Amino acid sequence: MNNFEFYNPTRIVFGEGKIAELDRLIPAAAKVLVLFGGQSARKTGTLGEVEQALGERQFGLFSGIEPNPRYDTLMKAVEKVREEGYDYLLAVGGGSVIDGTKFVAAAAKYDGDAWDILTSMGSKIEAALPFGTVLTLPATGSEMNKGSVVNRESMQAKLPFMSELVFPQFSVLDPVKTYTLPIRQVGNGAVDAFVHVVEQYLTYPANAPVQDRFAEGLLQTLIELGPQALETPEDYNIRASLMWTATLALNGLIGVGVPQDWSTHMLGHELTAQHGLDHAQTLAVVLPAMLNEKFEQKQAKLAQFAERVWHIEQGSEAEKAQQAIEKTRDFFERMNVKTRMSDYDLDESAIEPLIESLTQHGMTQLGEHGDVTPDVCRRVLQAAL
């Protein structure tokens, strides 16, 4: 196991009816800006519950944070925070609203050009407004981590940043709030969480049996409960476990002391920036092809994944590893997330521009060995057509 330091200050308040706890969680004197997405938070009644829980506090609303949150929209929220003097933010929504709120929290306190926050991957952040979240879509883990991804359409750039200053102070996780999710988002959520675990697990053996077994437990839970959530959307126990699984998949715990990959995510971000695919759709397209491309380097861990997660007992190490990749693709398809570029009307002509912008964004040495170069990514995309 590698040396590590683990820090995660986010308080999780989990369970039905827990939005009422906002009154306890947010300082009484805070002037709160509530940020949300399109209209789902209002339509489902979640926003109403939030407003009620805020009680006597002064608060304002900022709506319209898009899926794959747009830089220009977020800058409007920054302007509102500065003009109206909010000192606390509350995100109500999925990963996009939470990521967007993280950016607003940092940008509102940043004196220079806010784009620096993204080009420096967060290292230039010196302060951020405090904020909490009410999660409505289990997928990204953003509710309990220090990462965020922002999309600047005019530059076709979807860039991540990280900072300990943007950990949420708290996140309220009420599984009932996820009953209203469209099937597409249930599938996306399970696939995203699955790939988060894979990026931290499917590398090479690192003498970290606890991290491995946490990861394998999360993967098995997603495989078991993901399809059940599609069939019986209003089952509390299924939704509760999926919600907690997605949080644990990317709150830092399983990634301590082990090598990490993240090449699938970085290549996936380019697909969203140029073609607007949902985040999880990009992962479902890239991951099986990436695992095939890195087959030899990953074979030992792929075979462990085959045996422990997919219960594949027969065959050589290589055969088990191959079957595990096929099972993974099948799982994504079962969750209604398609796994080929052609499923999204993309052909060979899409590849070069993706490779160009990947290079331009400095994503030239990806993966756990730093050897996933633009040439490797080109082959991955060709295999994913």
Site residues (CB under 5 A) for Zn ion? 192
Spatial CB neighbours of 181, under 8 Å, sequence gap ≥ 6: 136, 137, 189, 233
> To the nearest whole angstrom, how small is the minimum distance from the Cβ of residue 259 to Zn ion?
18
Query: Cβ atoms within 10 A of the Cβ of 27, count?
Result: 12
Residues 18, 80, 265, 301: which binds ligand NZQ (CB under 6 A)? Answer: 265
CA distance linking residue 151 with residue 68, whole number of Å: 6
CA distance linking residue 328 with residue 201, whole number of Å: 14
> To the nearest whole angstrom, how small is the minimum distance from the Cβ of residue 357 to ligand NZQ?
16
Query: Cβ atoms within 10 A of the Cβ of 233, count?
Result: 16
113 vs 94, 117, 135, 154, 369, CA distance in Å?
Answer: 27, 8, 29, 16, 33
Q: Is beta strand 157-162 parallel, antiparallel or unpaired with respect to 147-152?
A: antiparallel
> To the nearest whole angstrom, how small is the minimum distance from the Cβ of residue 181 to ligand NZQ?
5
- Residue placing its CB nearer to Zn ion in the complex, 80 or 189: 189
By the rule CB under 6 A, 306 interacts with ligand NZQ: no
> To the nearest whole angstrom, how small is the minimum distance from the Cβ of residue 234 to Zn ion?
26
Asked whether 99 and 203 are in contact (CB, 8 A), the reply is no
Q: What, of Zn ion, ligand NZQ, none, does residue 39 touch, CB below 5 to 8 Å by kind?
A: ligand NZQ
- By CB under 6 A, what part of segment 143-172 binds ligand NZQ? 145, 147-149
> To the nearest whole angstrom, how small is the minimum distance from the Cβ of residue 166 to ligand NZQ?
9
By the rule CB under 6 A, 220 interacts with ligand NZQ: no
By the rule CB under 6 A, 67 interacts with ligand NZQ: yes
Structure tokens at 161: 């940043």
By the rule CB under 6 A, 251 interacts with ligand NZQ: no
Residues 188, 200, 211, 247: which binds ligand NZQ (CB under 6 A)? Answer: 188
Residues 250, 258, 350, 366: which binds ligand NZQ (CB under 6 A)? Answer: 250
> To the nearest whole angstrom, how small is the minimum distance from the Cβ of residue 29 to ligand NZQ?
29
By the rule CB under 6 A, 141 interacts with ligand NZQ: yes
Asked whether 173 and 12 are in contact (CB, 8 A), the reply is yes
What are φ and ψ of residue 65, in 5° steps?
-75, 120
Positions in the binding site for ligand NZQ (CB under 6 A): 37-41, 44, 67-68, 93-97, 99, 136-137, 139-142, 145, 147-149, 177-178, 180-181, 185, 188, 192, 250, 265, 279
